[in-house]
Amino acid sequence: MVKLITDNILDLTPQFWTETGDEIHDIVLDDCRAGIMQDNTSGHSYKSLQYMKYKANRMERFTTRTYKKGTKNIPAGKVARKGTKLEAFRTVPIVSTQINPVNMILTQRTINSLKGKNPTTTSITMAFVNTPAGILKGNRDRGYDIIGLNNKNREKVRQRVIKQFNNNLKKGGTLPPVIIEVN
C-alpha cells in the first residue's frame, strides 16, 4: 500500500476562494465589455431596434426640451436642447452606449451584482445578488448568456488553482513525503 501525505499542499482557504470570486467578477466584466458571452459565443446584435436606438441615445427620449438659461445640468459642450431620460433610468448613470456588439453593460448593475457567496476550503458560489431572475433568463433567451463561465474563463480559474497548489508546494520546501507501508 502506498500512501501519499500532502502536508497542506492541496489546502485552499476561504480567502483564496473569495479572491478567486473577485477575479471571476472582473473577467466576466471584461468579457461583457468585449461582447463575449459565457456560453462561448460573441458578436451578437440586438434583437430590438428600439432598444438599440435608446441605448445609443443614453436611454433618453428622442424629444427635446429647452433648459432655462444658467441651468447646471447641461453637460459642458452640449447644446441647451436635450431629451430627458426614460423614467426607469432617470437616476441611474448610463455606463455604456455601445450597441455593436452586444456588451451587456448599460448601467453595469447586473454585472456588479455578480458576487461570491459562501466560500469554503473547496469552492465559492457565484451569484447575481439582488438581480431578478427574469432579467438573467430574458437575456439568456435572447442569446446573451452571462451565467456560468465560458471555456476560457474556466481555464483561468483552473490555472489560478494550480498556481496556488504550486505556491503551497514551495512553502513546504520539497515534494511531499511518500510513505510506503508493507503489510
pLDDT in tens, 118-158: 999 888 999 999 888 889 999 899 889 999 999 999 999 99
In the block, which residue shows the cell 426640451? 65
Q: Which of 173, 110, 115 is nearest to 136 (CA)?
A: 110
For the chain, the structural domain boundaries read: 2-44+108-180
pLDDT at 4 over 70: no
Q: How far apart are CA 126 and CA 122, in angstroms?
A: 14
Q: 151-172 and 14-34 are packed helices; what angle lies between their axes, rounded to 10 degrees?
A: 150
For the stretch 34-58, pLDDT in tens is 999 999 999 899 888 999 999 998 8
Determine the straight-line distance between the first and last CA of the chain, rounded to whole angstroms. Answer: 8
Question: What helix, strand, coil percent values describe the chain, rounded to 5?
Answer: 35, 10, 50
Q: How far apart are CA 34 and CA 134, in angstroms?
A: 24
Q: How far apart are CA 73 and CA 83, in angstroms?
A: 12
pLDDT at 70 over 90: no
Q: Which of 31, 16, 21, 14 is nearest to 162 (CA)?
A: 16
Q: Binning pLDDT at 50, 70 and 90, where does residue 183 land?
A: very low
pTM of the model: 0.76
Chain Cα centroid distance, residue 39: 13
How far CA 50 is from CA of 55, 65, 99, 107, 112, in Å, comes to: 9, 21, 12, 17, 25
For the stretch 110-124, pLDDT in tens is 999 999 999 998 889
